[in-house]
Amino acid sequence: MLLRTHRPALTLIMCLILSACGGGHKSGSGESDKEAKGDSQVVAKVDDQEISVHQLNIALSQLPANLPPEKAHQVQKQALDRLIDQEILVQQAIAKKMDRDPKVLQVIDANRRSILARAYLESLSTSVSPATREEVDAFYDKHPELFSNRHIYRVQQLQLQGTPPLSTLEEAVKGSKTLGDVAKNLAAAKIGFNETTATIGPEQLPMALALEFSKLKVGNIAVVPQANGGHTVAQILAAQEAFVPKDKAQPAVERFLNNQRQNEAAAAEMKTLKAKAKITYLGDFDPKREAEKKPDLGATGPGTGAVTVDQKALAADPAGVVTVKSNANDGQPTGAVTVTRDRATGETSGVVTVNPDASKK
């Protein structure tokens, strides 16, 4: 589906607690209760290496949380089989001493750092107060497009290739009555696209766009921004009411608001920590080195054309004003561009890129 989900990521943990495997050995075997309890934490062995229930629970926590109960054991078994396959491969890698390979160690360290950083941010959630019932009700009432006035849309859409300017897309949509008209305009503008149909709900749209969609009628055409910076042109073919009562919406709204608060807390903490840290960019990222790569022309915006700076013109003072002739700047109007001392010193002759706006002054 081309209209992608833009909901904030929610960490959904599947709490599947495995029962003790087997039930342990009989008391006649002579082992203690502590030993029996220890065995119950092991769900499989690969040669002499144990796979614990804790490893399995971590694997299960990466799965969707809305699996039906009747499939729980099947999912657990599949996850365990994947851990067994993983352990077999890990043993082979260690036997070949791949755990000492510098490249492998770098990847392990990178993952370790990522896990620690994520763990710290997630720890902030304990200090965030959960959303109250009043806040949940207020959110429900403020967003009828998601609940009381919710609709499911059937759309025909054009997924654009590349990222053409938004102004070009708006021009292609302007005056078009059908998506076929838009397609012709896009083809004339040499903009490629793929056509498809989809069924979407307002929760699959950015929050602001969901509100705008609720105001559209069947037949209307909209330009939909995508997460990758591109756009999709969609025409609404049908809209079906899909009312969600407040009691059923409450859990989802609570999760959304709590997640939003946690993200805000994480962003605030990151800003505070970054302000306290001493950050130094080195090498190619040294600000001084980056400044040397960018000519300072005393003008802003993209340069157009060029003018040759004669050494004699800058002999007296390398910082000054260079006259720009129209024929030297691809037909641009006569004007001037400032050359700074830092740019001109040591290189008093050469080519200076000219901003068209500067030459019109």
Q: For residue 21, is pLDDT > 50? A: no
Report the Cα 326 to chain-centroid distance in Å. 46
Q: For residue 173, is pLDDT > 50? A: yes
Once rounded to an integer, what is the mean pLDDT over residues 1-15?
31
Question: pLDDT digit string (tens) for 275-304?
Answer: 999 999 998 888 888 777 765 544 444 444
Q: What percent of the chain has pLDDT over 90?
A: 47
Could you tell me where in the chain the CATH 3.10.50 domains are found?
151-241
**Spatial separation of the C-alpha atoms in residues 322 and 306, rounded to whole Å:** 12
What tokens appear for 274 in the block?
């970054």
Question: pLDDT digit string (tens) for 347-359?
Answer: 434 444 444 444 3
Q: Looking at this protein, which amino acid is placed at residue 232? A: T
**Spatial separation of the C-alpha atoms in residues 253 and 324, rounded to whole Å:** 61
Mean pLDDT value across the chain = 76
pTM higher than 0.75, yes or no? no
Nearest to 234 by CA among 218, 253, 252: 218
- CATH number among 3.30.450, 3.40.50, 1.10.3470, 3.10.50, domain 151-241: 3.10.50
**Spatial separation of the C-alpha atoms in residues 148 and 242, rounded to whole Å:** 8
What tokens appear for 253 in the block?
């709204």
